[in-house]
């Protein structure tokens, strides 16, 4: 029986889509977009920040050394202010609230740098969450088993009573390897409801 839902944040509760952010900022040149994806969003620095080994500010400071000057302002925006505005995933606030009302434990587990604390409290229905774990705070990250074990031990949860919801397959696989149920979310809350109701 599933007693607890554990949510990823980006692309599950809120939109985190680099291509969309570039569209939003009017960056249409394909070369510029490729540079920002390669040197910023998919950079080693971003991974290090999620792991708590560097601060988000250091992502920007390091990456601007590798990108053209005309992209520096965008790089700062995408590193330190991409969540302005925060864009909720449609239907997920209602999903969280209804499951909370049904008595399920509600938790958040996100790979994110230190800047997560600037916006996590603005996530819709955040007051429903019984616990929040940000990877950079504890220097553990998905998809490794230790972070799933950490969530269970910290909040007194049994892995086989938890459903982990993430948009990234390797993270879902990591949760399942740790004994949890897993669901790869692709934006369709109706399918998610069907899956949860089938358990």
- The SS3 call for residue 178 is coil
Answer whether residue 86 shows pLDDT above 90.
Answer: yes
- CATH assignment at residue 141: 3.40.50.1000
pLDDT digits (tens, 9 = 90+) for 162-178: 999 999 999 999 999 99
Contact of 9 with 108, CB cutoff 8 Å: yes
pTM of the model: 0.96
pLDDT digits (tens, 9 = 90+) for 12-24: 999 999 999 999 9
Mean pLDDT of 83-92: 97
35 lies in the same domain as 120: no
Mean pLDDT of 113-117: 97
Mean pLDDT of 54-58: 97
133 lies in the same domain as 187: yes
37 lies in the same domain as 124: no
62 lies in the same domain as 100: no
102 lies in the same domain as 61: no
Mean pLDDT of 108-114: 98
40 lies in the same domain as 70: yes
Mean pLDDT of 125-149: 98
The pLDDT assigned to 17 comes to 96
Domain count, the chain: 2
131 lies in the same domain as 172: yes
Where residue 109 falls among pLDDT bands split at 50, 70, 90?
Answer: very high
The pLDDT assigned to 155 comes to 98
Q: Give the Cα separation of 121 and 103 in Å (integer).
A: 22
pLDDT digits (tens, 9 = 90+) for 28-50: 999 999 999 999 999 999 999 99
Where residue 199 falls among pLDDT bands split at 50, 70, 90?
Answer: confident
Domain that holds residue 128: 4-15+88-198
The pLDDT assigned to 130 comes to 98
The pLDDT assigned to 83 comes to 95
Packed helices 169-177 and 145-155: angle between N→C axes, nearest 10 degrees: 60
């Amino acid at each position: 029986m599933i007693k607890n839902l554990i949510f990823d944040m980006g692309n599950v509760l809120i939109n985190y889509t680099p291509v969309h952010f570039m569209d939003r900022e009017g960056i249409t040149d394909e070369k510029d977009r490729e540079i920002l994806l390669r040197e910023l969003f998919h950079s080693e620095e971003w991974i290090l920040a999620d792991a708590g080994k560097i601060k988000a500010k250091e992502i920007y400071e390091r990456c601007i050394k590798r990108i053209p000057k005309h992209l520096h302002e965008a790089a700062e925006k995408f590193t330190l202010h991409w969540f302005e505005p925060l864009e909720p995933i449609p239907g997920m606030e209602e999903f969280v609230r209804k499951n909370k009302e049904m008595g399920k434990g509600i938790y958040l587990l996100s790979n994110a740098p230190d800047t997560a604390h600037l916006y996590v409290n603005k996530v819709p229905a955040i007051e429903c969450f019984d616990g929040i774990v940000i990877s950079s705070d504890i220097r553990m990250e998905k998809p490794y088993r230790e972070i799933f074990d950490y969530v269970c031990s910290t909040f007194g949860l049994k892995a086989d009573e938890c459903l982990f919801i993430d948009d990234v397959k390797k993270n879902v696989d990591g949760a399942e390897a740790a004994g949890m149920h897993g669901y790869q979310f692709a934006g369709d809350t109706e399918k998610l409801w069907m899956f949860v109701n089938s358990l």
